[in-house]
Every structure is written in C-alpha cells, then in structure tokens.
Structure 1
C-alpha cells in the first residue's frame, strides 16, 4: 500500500538508456565511430543496472 507513491528507479534508467542509444545511433550515422562505441558501452552499463534492479525486484 505504501509503495503506491514510490517511484520506480528502473523507469528513469530505461529513459536514460533510450537516450544513450539514440545518441549512439546519431553518432554512427554521422560517422563518429569512437563516440558511437563509447555511448553504446554506457548504454550497456545502464542496461546491466536495469537488469539488476529487475531481478532484485522479482526476488
């Protein structure tokens, strides 16, 4: 009942993840492969955090 007003931290991380992937896509299209790989690595780190939160929430 008291968790009704608690914000979901994975929702914020998913939004950041989507932004990073979109930035990476634009960097790749512009031919900036170094920035693309850096942004993709950051997105993968965010995804790992999301999965950790999801598995913690399920248990």
Structure 2
C-alpha cells in the first residue's frame, strides 16, 4: 500500500527506450545509417539496464 505512489524507474526507462527506438527508425528511413546505428546501440544498452533493474526488483505480492 505504501508503494502505491512511488515512481517506477523501470517504467521511465521503458518509455525512454521506446523514444530512442522511434528516433532510430526515423533516422533509418531518412538514410542516416550512422545515426541509426548509434541510436540502436543506445537503445540496446538501455534495454540491458531495464533487464537488470527488473531482475533486481523484489517480487510483488
């Protein structure tokens, strides 16, 4: 009950990951492969952070 109003850091990371993926897709469509590669790498690193944060999260219930 007390954790009801706490911000979920994983939710914030997932939103950021989604935004980076969208930027990468736009860069790829525009033909900027270098920018696409950089953004894809950033998204992959962020995804690894998300996986680690979810693994460290205590089980609910």
Same fold (TM over 0.5): yes
Moved beyond 3 Å, runs of 4+:
none
**Structure 1 residue aligned with 2:53:** 53
Q: Deviations over 1:6-57 (max 9, x none)?
A: 1100000000000000000000011000000000000011101100111111
SS at 1:4's partner residue?
coil
TM-score between both structures, scaled by the size of structure 1: 0.93
Q: Which runs of 5+ in 1 are unaligned?
A: none
Aligned-residue Cα RMSD (Å) equals: 1.1
**Structure 1 residue aligned with 2:43:** 43
TM-score between both structures, scaled by the size of structure 2: 0.90
1 CA distance for matches of 2:33 and 2:58?
37
**Structure 2 residue aligned with 1:17:** 17
